[in-house]
Amino acid sequence: MKYMIEYAIRSTGLTHDEGFAGSEALLTAFGKWKPEDGLTVHAFVSNLAGNGGYVLAEAGDPKVIVTFVSKYNFWNDVNVVPVVDVGEVVPIAAASLAWARSASKS
């Protein structure tokens, strides 16, 4: 299963010193991170402001995703969304459209 993980580095309510300390701690922790067994990272990108970004990851077990994102809950707000390749959705959408057209006729 693929997951789109959106992350935002938490800064609201922090003093400048707390922000600097948090950033240093996050960079130190991230420098020690290795992908969990069973986790494939297809893309890991930052927004242009450098205060958040996206990870397109794949794992057969959702607990692998939990293990990954929970390590960074001390610094980041995270939203995890299961996703499917568009090529897989197109035939489903076509079948749904056919069903809806048929079902909506008297």
Span 18-66, pLDDT tens digits: 999 999 999 999 999 999 999 999 999 999 999 999 999 999 999 999 9
> Rounded to two decimals, what is the model's pTM?
0.87
Higher pLDDT, 94 or 106: 94
Residue 106 above 90 pLDDT?
no
Architecture of domain 2-103: 2-Layer Sandwich (3.30)
Number of DSSP helices (H) and strands (E) in the chain, helices first: 3, 4
Token pair 């297809």 in the structure block, residue = 42
State pLDDT tens for residues 74-93: 999 999 999 999 999 999 99
Higher pLDDT, 106 or 19: 19
Q: What residue spans of the chain are helical by DSSP H?
A: 16-31, 62-70, 86-103
Q: Are 10 and 22 in contact (CB under 8 A)?
A: yes
Domain locations in the chain as residue ranges: 2-103
- Quick one: tokens of 62? 């959702």
